[in-house]
């Protein structure tokens, strides 16, 4: 089963295709700054699979296609 949510602490720049660049960058910040004592609040990203599932479940592909 594909994941629809991924925590920032589980995300890095390797995950750009799955969660997008901004979310991957936040995950990278979390991983690099937290060990140095800089608090970065954890959160989550909706994955591309989650986004596609939302569109499909709500029959939105066609209206958004144009």
Rounded to two decimals, the pTM is: 0.80
Among 36, 39, 11, CA closest to 26: 11
SS3 string of the chain? CCCCEEEHHHCCHHHHHHHCHHHHHHHHHHHHHHHHCCCCCCCEEECHHHHHHHHHHCCCHHHHHC
- What's the confidence (pLDDT) of residue 66? 78
User: Model confidence over 13-62: pLDDT tens digits?
Assistant: 999 999 999 999 999 999 999 899 998 888 999 999 999 999 999 999 99
């Amino acid at each position: 089963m594909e994941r629809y949510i991924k925590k920032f602490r589980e995300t890095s720049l390797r995950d750009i295709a799955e969660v997008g660049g901004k979310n991957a960058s936040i995950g990278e910040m979390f991983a690099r700054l937290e060990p140095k004592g800089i608090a970065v609040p954890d959160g989550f990203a909706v994955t591309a699979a989650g986004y596609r599932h939302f569109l499909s479940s709500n029959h939105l592909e066609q209206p958004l296609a144009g």
